Copies of this chain bind each other. A is one copy, B any other.
Amino acid sequence: MVLSSTASSTARRLGAADQSGRAPQGGAAEPGLRERKKQRTRDALRAAAFELFARKGFEATTVEEIADAVEVSSRTFFRYFGGKDDVVLATIDDQYTDVLAAFELRPADEPVWTAMRRATAEVLARYESGETGMSAESFARVTGLVSVSPALTGRALELCTTRIDEGTQLIARRMGVRPEQDPRPALVAAVMLSAIQTATGAWRENEPDTPTSVLVDRAFELLGAGIDYPAA
């Protein structure tokens, strides 16, 4: 179980048991036939889903179509993904995990906002360079899908809120305060998320060709300088 147990509601939906899509961290060299097969159907399912989503749109694609394309029953689909949206959401969930991990690794003397900014930049760069196993195009397609479909936008936001608590804990530790007593960590976590969201959402419409990492970094920069205009 890679995911923290905090994300109860979401964890339940993100693929049953331990088929989390991440490689098993144990030292075993060969995953075994069964495991490989499972991974293959999972990948096939995700690939077919993205294919269809791109061609017909998210809403217009049914689970049955996805399952048929891979020649499994739709029941099997639901055993791999908690729902149609989880095909997309699972990917995003992984990204959050990575950002949070990167944040924790930042030098302790960096101020929170700077640490968040650098951590996000690192992870985004890694995804854009395609070194995470997922191609750069797939990555771009995921963000595109989410911003186009309102239903997906909502679900992605919902995912945020379940993960935001973890971010709050981490930020509080770095600030040296207790999150139950100091309201600021929760606020910083929430604002960070909306920075990312604005950059990948609204800003992208005006600048479709600017890499996500650049857009997001700009958002962090602006917010670090203050949100009042004219400046207070």
By a beta-carbon cutoff of 8 Å, the part of chain A in contact with chain B is 9-10, 111-114, 150-151, 153-155, 157-158, 160-162, 164-165, 168, 175, 180-181, 183-184, 186-188, 190-191, 193-195, 197-198, 201-203, 206, 218-219, 222-224, 226-230, 232
Contact = CB atoms under 8 A, between A and B. Distances in A.
A228 B111 CA distance: 7
Contact of A229 (B112, B150, B202): B112
A157, A198, A201 pick with most chain B CB within 10 angstroms = A198
Contact of A190 (B10, B180, B197, B230): B197
Given A191-B223, A191-B227, A158 B150 contact: yes
Contacts of A202: 164-165, 168, 186, 190
A186 B222 CA distance: 12
User: Dominant SS at the A interface?
Assistant: helix
Given A153-B161, A224-B228, A229-B113, A191 B191 contact: yes
A197 to B, nearest CB: 6
Given A112-B228, A187-B198, 9 more contacts: A153-B161, A154-B157, A157-B160, A186-B203, A188-B229, A190-B197, A191-B191, A194-B194, A223-B227
Contacts of A206: 180-181, 183
B157 A161 contact: yes
Contacts of A201: 161
A185 B172 CA distance: 29
A12 to B, nearest CB: 10
Contacts of A162: 150
Contacts of A191: 191, 194-195, 223, 227
Contacts of A230: 111
A9 B155 CA distance: 15
